[in-house]
Every structure is written in structure tokens, then in C-alpha cells.
Amino acid sequence: MSIELRLSDVDPPETEPKRTIYRDIVNLPSTVQLGITARYFNHDDVGLYFQITGSGTGYSFGTVNLGLLATGANAYQNLDNFGSRTKPSSGDLTEGELEENITLTLKAYTDSGYSNLKWTYDRTVTIHWINSADASFTVDELDNFDDGTVEGWGVYISNGGTPAIAAATDYVLSAMYSCKITHEDGYSANNLGFYKQFTTPNRDKVFAIIDTRLGGAAGIYYGSLRVYRDSVLLVFLGKYTDYATVGTTNHVPRDKWLRIVVPLPKNTTLTIKIYSTERCTGGQAMMWLDDFKIISK
């Protein structure tokens, strides 16, 4: 096959690991949006125009034209609000869990009008829903910052400076506080984010639920949002991890809350890291975190 769609940073010819998107239904609206970051490859000997869409029972998907990709090249593209469906009810989940599949379809055309189709590539992705409020789960950690402290979270920065981290009231998910990072970049750029060490419970299933928000001045542009378990990359959203290439376009959503759910190994001491790549052309970069949970059963 001369085109390929991946959802990881694993390069061909290595086999792509199974990818599952985890989601928590708690406090989501009645219609839920699905965003993904797609990585697409052109293995053909000519440049091709790429397009992506999706399908799945109960889902609606858009069709996104990704533009020209040169021969031998690959690219990342974050697709915000790419798909939608009615939120599953708690009754749809068995002991707080439900799995379903969607199909992502990547197409490649020889022309900019997307009329001469050359290649099609289908990729099945599992969506694993959980209900973190279900009685089958134990809440092992809840950091809602409502005691007015940062509850042990630290702040990371890669390129100098001293960002502030404190409880804040400007954007919250549960009253009255969230945890907020504020940093004046001085017209440079950085990787910036939260981290905290945990010891996970000795149970078979362990999940972390992360609600975070990117924002700040109009002159702040975000290239990616990433979640790590120690040095292991669990989730990548966006396009760039090198802030020098971010430019003046946001490649990951800002100014709205984003929820990320990740599985964790049991009975392990580890550090959760929630990092953004941001470029500053003026003003302060800001990140928020609220209602962070670790649950298990």
C-alpha cells in the first residue's frame, strides 16, 4: 500500500501498536465531539492530495482535505471536532465500560480538486468508554484544587524562565478553584506543563482522567499537547513538538477544556506529565488543570 494512516509516533516499517481512544462520559454534553491527531504517509513516488473521513454506528463524521503531501513524506494533522455522536448513557455501559469501533478512511488523489482517486486506506480504531462515577470504580485520586492549593503538582519548562503555578478561579470545572500555570515567555518559546508523581493501586484496571485547558494572550500559539507516563508518550495532539516550527497557527485547540483519558499500569510509582509546545510572539502562556482523577477496579 502506497499510503498509510497511523495514530502513533512509531515509524514504518515497525508495526503500529494497537491504538485505543479512551473516553469518560461524566459531565460531557448530550452530543459529544471526537477529535484525533492523524499521521499520514505518502509512500508513492509522486506527490498526492490527501483526504480523511470516518464512519461508525451512531457517529457523524466530516470530510477534511489535508492538502498536498510530497513523495516519501509524512505529516501530523489534528482534527478537532472530527466526529460526533450522542453521549452513551450510564445504562449503555456494563460495569462502567463500553467498547465500540470506528473506521477512519484515508484517501489520496492525484489532483487538487480531489476527483482522481488513487489510493484508499482504512483503519479501525477502538473507542473505550468509561463512566468514572460508576460504583464499580474506586476513586484513588481526586485533585480538584478546591482547598486553594496546587495539591502537589509541579510546573515544567524547557527553555528557561520561572513560570508561576497556583490555584485559580478564572476557569474551573468544579467550583471554586483549578490549577493554573502562567508564564511570560519574553518573545521566545517553550515546552511547558504540569507534572506529579503517583503510586497506582494494585488493581487490574487503572485510568487517569485529565481535564486541561490551553490559553493566554493572543500572541501565544500551540503546536501540541502531550501526555507522558514518565518518558513514555501516551497521547499526542497537534502537529509539532519543536516550538521553532509552530509558526503563528494553533495546531491544537486552545481556549476550551480538553479531556484525555489514559490507562496506567497497576501498583507502579510513576510521574504523569501534561506538556504543551507553545510559541510566544507576545504576552503570557497559560495552562489549567482541574478535576484530575485516578480510578481503578
pLDDT digits (tens, 9 = 90+) for 219-273: 999 999 999 999 999 999 999 988 888 999 999 999 999 999 999 999 999 999 9
Which is more confidently placed, 162 or 96? 96
Measured CA to CA, the distance from residue 124 to residue 54 in angstroms comes to: 10
Kindly list the structural domains of the chain, giving each domain's residue range(s) and its CATH number in brackets, ordered by start: 3-130 (2.60.40.10), 138-296 (2.60.120.260)
pLDDT(204) > 70: yes
How far is the CA of 267 from the CAs of 174, 205, 296, in angstroms?
Answer: 29, 11, 11
Distance of CA 175 to the CA centre of its chain: 24
Question: Please, which pLDDT band fits residue 150 given cuts at 50, 70 and 90?
Answer: very high
Report pLDDT digits (tens) over 164-177: 999 999 999 999 99
Measured CA to CA, the distance from residue 99 to residue 25 in angstroms comes to: 13
